[in-house]
Amino acid sequence: MNSFTTQGDPSEYLERLMQAGQQSMKQFDEALAMTVGVRGKKPASAGQMFSPFALALDMQRDYLTQVWRFWNAATIRAFSLGTKAEVQPERGDKRFKDEAWQEAPYYDLLKQYYLLTARQMHDLVDSAQVDNKTKLQLRFYARQFIDAMSPSNFPATNPEVIRTAIETRSASLANGMANLIEDIRKGRITRVDESAFEVGGNLAVTPGSVIFENELIQLIQYAPQTSEVERTPLLIVPPCINKYYLLDLGKGNSFVEYAVAQGRQVFLISWRSAVPEIGQFTWDDYLTKGPLQAIDVVCDIAKVEQVDALGFCVGGTIMSCAAAVLAARGENKLTSLTLLTTMLDFADTGDIGLLIDEGSVALREATIGGGGILPGKELAFTFGTLRANDLIWRYVVDSYLKGATPDAFDLLYWDSDSVSLPGPMYCWYTRNTYLENNLKQPGKTTQCGLSIDLSRVKTPLYVLASREDHIVPWQSAFRSKDLMGTHPRFVLAASGHVAGVINPPARNKRSHWLNDDLNCEAKDWLDRAKEVPGSWWPDWDAWMKRHSSGTIPAPERAGNEKYGVIEPAPGRYVRLKSN
């Protein structure tokens, strides 16, 4: 009989196995030392002590060492001698939360071998002797491949899928196939129970009226909820790549509702999803037909000469450029400017910038730069790849492999309600921001026929960033304070791009950081910042009140003789679906 079948102490067998493994690794180490001339040492940096070949050998040695330790631990676990898994998922990785991934040796082995191989692939990319941007691009695409190859994404290697199929007598697989066919018809992955929501029903419900529209926007005036309102109206400019109702999700979860309740005259732009008749619209059209025209309408209705402006994400970039156009014209129409998770300096754009290079922009310019549509579902998929495990593969598994019906979640419904853009506008934006970073350079761009210099905008500035934002890195948003405005205030919210912004005070969730000293780098600012529990909204409201021009009796009706009510909020444009 061999050692596998001998009736003896399994620990004796394991000890001999480990000794053999250690001897093998010693021999490999000695061979490596002879090859590179250095025993037991790693290169100080790529290309210094080791050649690329020797570096690869050294990495292979590390990998084989880890594989050996992994198999050693797996063998011990198989004999139930008790040992902790050699490789563990990163914190927050929900793919392997089912207990079978820990308790069943087969699935535990699959999980650990996948995680170990993923780590090796990341190490290979990190050791590549290429420039920094190329390395970041390699890292991004390697992550896409690694995420796609997870054993949790395949029915034969996911214990939850197999268990669900058995429990439902394969009904889950039939339902999953039906879900897949429906999503192929839609051209996108369904991530939310869309039947649970209706824009104007349980979303975008703050009372108001559409009092102006053109080919690109509808302008909403919200009904006051207080007897007195701020004399200076607030114009909100949401991102044009999303529907506006992220800022008005529902009662008790609405920034618009909060601003109205604080006694503000609130006006908001609702962008139209691009259709063929506006497929020729340019960046300048988005400025002139967007915030610039909206400011004139708001001033006319409120009988004022200035407005408070607030821009969110791309809406903040658009509003900042509109402010620079006004400054170039010598027109002082802004009392204050608030920027929420907005980039003006595109030197560090996070992962999304890795998808934009000269080739990709030139291709877009050749195809839709002279006219055409960038479909909203393409933008949505691109943003989904930034967090593929959470925004793509999770729903592939739940919907297609397990046949589940998605949950009802308002944020995901909004995120799935995509917006298309005119090709010329999109091409100008990507070239002058992500590709060439022109906005921050005085005179580098011409907008609305004028040379643009953000530093000419002399308006009190409030800048909010989100600490875990994967779309607008908070350090990039931090630099906005140096490019425009006066007396800037910077606030850092907890969480990500959306949840950091939408955080009603009544929920008493998350926190934010404050530090009045802005003459420092972002890291130093955070190191000395004070963490404040709860929402940042009251801080913004207090800042706005410090720049108040007084209050007046609330208007009794929406609009005026020139700009009458067209239809109730939320209006038609927000209900239009992107094709």
Cα-Cα-Cα-Cα dihedral of 305, 306, 311, 315, to 10°? 30
Least confident of 13-22, 219-228, 306-315, 492-501: 13-22
Q: Provide the pLDDT for residue 85.
A: 57
Which of 83-97, 100-114, 363-377, 443-457 is predicted with the least confidence, judged by mean pLDDT? 83-97
pLDDT (0 to 100) of residue 92: 84
pLDDT of 59 over the 80 cut: no
Three state DSSP letters for 342-405: CCCCCCCCHHHHHHCCHHHHHHHHHHHCCCCEECHHHHHHHHHHCCHHHHHHHHHHHHHHCCCC
Least confident residue range of 103-117, 209-223, 485-499, 545-559 = 103-117
On the 0-12 / 13-18 / 19+ scale of CB atoms within 10 A, 565 is middle
- Res 50: pLDDT: 42
- Residue 213 contacts residue 566 (beta carbons within 8 Å): yes
Residue 56: per-residue pLDDT: 52
pLDDT at 133: 84
- Catalytic one of 313, 321, 427, 448: 313
The pLDDT tens digits of the residues spanning 480-497 come to 999 998 899 999 999 999
Expressed in angstroms, the distance from the first to the final Cα of the chain is: 69
Q: Of all residues in the chain, what percent carry a pLDDT higher than 70?
A: 85
Question: pLDDT, tens digit, for every residue of 416-464?
Answer: 999 999 999 999 999 999 999 999 999 999 999 999 999 999 999 999 9
**Where is 33: in which H helix or E strand?**
helix 10-36
**Dihedral sign of CA atoms 300, 303, 307, 311 in order:** negative
Instruction: Select from 266, 326, 335, 331 the least CA-distant residue to 302.
Output: 266
Please tell me the predicted confidence (pLDDT) of residue 81.
Answer: 45
Angstrom distance (rounded) from CA 30 to CA 39: 7
pLDDT band with cut points at 50, 70 and 90 for residue 43? very low
313 has catalytic annotation: yes
15, amino acid identity = E
Paired sense of beta strands 551-553 and 228-230, if any: antiparallel
Sole residue written with tokens 């050791």 = 127
Query: What is the pLDDT confidence band of residue 524, given thresholds at 50, 70 and 90?
Result: very high
Rounded-to-integer distance, Cα 469 and Cα 176, Å: 32
Q: How many CB atoms lie within 10 A of CB 165?
A: 19
Determine the pLDDT at residue 23: 56
- pLDDT of 3 > 50? The answer is no
- Contacts for 295 with CB less than 8 Å, ≥ 6 apart: 235, 307, 309, 322, 326, 333
Q: Are strands 421-422 and 373-374 parallel, antiparallel or unpaired?
A: antiparallel
Q: Determine which helix (DSSP H) or strand (DSSP E) holds 267, and give its type and residue range.
A: strand 266-271
> Strand pairing of 567-568 and 511-514?
unpaired
Q: What's the chain's average pLDDT? A: 88
Q: What is the pTM of this model?
A: 0.85
pLDDT: which is higher, 313 or 17:
313
Query: Per-residue pLDDT for 48 more than 80?
Result: no
Determine the pLDDT at residue 256. 98
Q: What is the DSSP letter of 248?
A: B
**What is the Cα–Cα distance from 191 to 388, expressed in whole angstroms?**
13
Give CA–CA dist 558/390, Å, rounded: 42
Q: Averaging pLDDT over each range in 64-78, 385-399, 536-550, which range is the top one?
A: 536-550
For residue 314, the Cα-to-chain-centroid distance in whole angstroms is: 12
Q: Taking 50 as the threshold, does the pLDDT of residue 42 lie above it?
A: no
Domains assigned to the chain: 10-151 (no CATH), 208-373+420-575 (3.40.50.1820)
CB 50 within 8 A of CB 43: yes
Residues in the chain: 579
**What is the number of other CB atoms lying within 10 angstroms of the CB of residue 445?**
21
Query: Residue 460 contacts by C-beta under 8 Å, 6 or more apart in sequence?
Result: 335, 336, 337, 485, 486, 487, 488, 547
Residue 465 reports pLDDT greater than 90: yes
Confidence band (pLDDT; 50, 70, 90) for 4? very low
On the CB side of 124, CA atoms within 13 Å amount to 17
Confidence at 120, pLDDT banded by 50, 70, 90: confident
pLDDT digits (tens, 9 = 90+) for 297-327: 999 999 999 999 999 999 999 999 999 999 9
Residue holding tokens 């824009």? 199
Looking at the DSSP bridge assignments, the partners of residue 446 are 451
Confidence of residue 19 (pLDDT cuts 50, 70, 90): low
Lowest-confidence segment of 7-21, 206-220, 392-406 by average pLDDT: 7-21
pLDDT at 482: 94
Over range 486-515, report the average pLDDT. 95
pLDDT in tens, 236-246: 999 999 999 99
